[in-house]
A and B are shown apart, each in its own frame.
Chain A
């Protein structure tokens, strides 16, 4: 074991012991309840196949318990905690305690000192993120099959490889904040705020555009939902030249509904509104309105990211955060090499 590795271990063995204990407790809880969820899922599948009622299983079956389900959602915060409690103090606490002055006047160069400390910490962050995500991904298997929502924001963020990227990024952000601010508490604050801000910007504004979304059209009165765990981004109605038609949500008049979507008659061209007549639809007026709208080229649309792109999106998201982490680490190297001892 090299001298720096030994120092890192001496400085962080208490944290390592606590993190190991917490991970073991989480693993025990998720493995025990995960086996229960899997058997609940298999017996429900068998029961509904026998009675041919699997179609509405997603609305009648609740897998697991609320408390464990909530704990699984809370793993969303694990990368932030890693960045705040492990990343931010890495350099800031050395500056605060003055121990950096001692370390920097030994035979080991600052670069090697930083490379060893940051390297081990980033590795530990990736391991924590990976173990938690692995457990959550396995635990959520039946729920993903039942709800088909693994691609949705919030679920996407706690499974697969993305949490590894978040953890590495959060740790790097903490290290950089500590190097720049030299104070632990402000570095923790910057880590928390920066992590939440960048994660929000990416998931709200950037992620929907990683790959060009697919748009499917369907005739009035029917509907469309993406196959499997697709991620639906938008839906609505367009006219013949593709111009969007506004569909006010609050209308008291007649409405042409399909599964999940509806368009009020008052949004249709005047001739179609005339065909609807007054009062509730009869079968004849309904068909007249629908064929009139179709003759005007009006159709519904759903814009979505297909389920087959799930792993491509996981890869892109992870790549972005690992890249951001690399930039932050490069900044830290520059700051540390220029700093007066």
Chain B
């Protein structure tokens, strides 16, 4: 069976190896350039204006960055080209009828095919993720944004989870629909849809977010590398004041009109004294600044949870595939 899988997929394996080698070449060359740029920057800009003057500087070249962004679609491609045809193209060609009437049981046939391909998807997705993670090292150190959506999704171990999930999705869709092109469409739609839902709505609730309050006059603490979900002003009762995303006169995102009347005039003036007086006024009235965030030290916990969610979904899809393949008439 293992020999059969190799014979069926050696062309895809060669194509995948060539693509991976090309990707690796670009990322290694671009990454070495960026690392040396980063080290020369560290020497000069930290001695000048501190870390903050570094953070406004561009780092890395355009092609490396384009490849980093493109790597977000790698799991979908694995689902399309490895997952979707696995069962569907055998049924389309009728070769499953031959395979299912040999001494190898259907369960074993599916286990070995799916097992090897899932392993290949995990290795390929993991190799791309490892290259992107290494490439991003200096940028993560400079901008501290590895926890932000889009950067989180292409680094660490989550791309492996996505790759395993997308491939399982392709296998299950192919087993259910029996048509390769239809299965490919399902992979694209469901994978992108589910990733968006988890990215936008679910991930921020993996653990209860931390909210920290501070006075208007205190030096703001640093939230470097954390994933800041919300910032604003909390009223004397501790509740966040509603924000106004529609522009107009706002102070830390809150409409000036909803702050105490006594402070309003001070806030809207531009002089430094008035600003400090305005801050004092808000402090005295019991208002506080707040940040709601996921602390930086939860990065790997979040990577683990997200990977776990997608691997668990992959397991469910594979269980569905086993049921479908077992019950299908040959």
Binding site for B on A (CB under 8 A): 18, 40, 43-45, 47-48, 51, 53, 57, 60-62, 66-67, 70-71, 74, 81, 84-85, 89, 93, 96, 184-185, 188-189, 192, 196, 200, 204, 249-253
Contact = CB atoms under 8 A, between A and B. Distances in A.
13 contacts: A40-B246, A44-B247, A47-B246, A51-B248, A62-B245, A66-B200, A71-B196, A85-B184, A93-B181, A96-B92, A196-B70, A204-B62, A252-B49
Contacts of A66: 200
Given A66-B200, A204-B62, A43 B185 contact: no
Contacts of B250: 60
B66 interface: yes
Q: Summarize B's interface: helix, strand, loop or mixed.
A: helix
B81 interface: yes
A184 B247 contact: no
Contact of B192 (A74, A89, A192, A253): A74
B181 A249 contact: no
Contact of A250 (B44, B70, B181, B185): B44
A70 B77 CA distance: 20
Interface string B122-164: 0000000000000000000000000000000000000000000
Given A252-B44, A252-B48, A61 B246 contact: yes
Nearest to A204: B62
A260 to B, nearest CB: 11
A207 B8 CA distance: 42
Given A48-B248, A67-B200, A74-B192, A84 B58 contact: no
A251 B48 contact: yes
Q: Summarize A's interface: helix, strand, loop or mixed.
A: helix
Nearest to B77: A192
Contact of B41 (A85, A185, A250): A250
A43 B200 contact: no
A76 B249 CA distance: 35
Q: Which 5 residue pairs spanning A and B have beta carbons closest together?
A: A252-B48, A44-B247, A47-B248, A250-B44, A61-B247
B47 A252 contact: yes
Given A47-B248, A200-B66, A188 B80 contact: yes
Contact of A81 (B43, B188, B196): B188
B248 A44 contact: yes
Given A43-B246, A53-B247, 4 more contacts: A48-B248, A85-B188, A184-B181, A252-B44
B247 A250 contact: no
Given A44-B247, A51-B249, A189-B81, A184 B44 contact: no
A47 B247 contact: yes
Interface of B: 15, 40-41, 43-45, 47-49, 54, 57-58, 62, 66, 70, 77, 80-81, 85, 89, 92, 180-181, 184-185, 188, 192, 196, 200, 245-250
A60 B256 CA distance: 14
B196 A70 contact: yes
Nearest to B44: A250
B201 to A, nearest CB: 8
A185 B81 contact: yes
B58 A249 contact: yes
B178 to A, nearest CB: 13
A89 B54 CA distance: 51
A41 to B, nearest CB: 9
A249 B41 contact: yes
Most chain B Cβ neighbours within 10 Å, of A40, A61, A74: A61
A85 to B, nearest CB: 5
Given A74-B192, A81-B188, A250-B44, A53 B249 contact: yes
A40 B180 contact: no
Contacts of A57: 247
Contacts of A40: 245-246
A193 to B, nearest CB: 8
A16 B242 CA distance: 45
A51 B188 CA distance: 47
B57 A250 contact: yes
Contacts of B49: 252
A253 B47 CA distance: 10
A144 B322 CA distance: 50
Contacts of B188: 81, 85
B247 A48 contact: yes
B45 A252 contact: yes
Nearest to A22: B189
Contacts of B80: 188
Contacts of A62: 245
A60 B251 CA distance: 11
A154 B253 CA distance: 29
Contacts of B40: 250
Contacts of B58: 249
A93 B185 CA distance: 15
A85 B80 CA distance: 11
A185 B180 contact: yes
Most chain A Cβ neighbours within 10 Å, of B57, B92, B200, B246: B246
Nearest to B58: A249
A305 B66 CA distance: 22
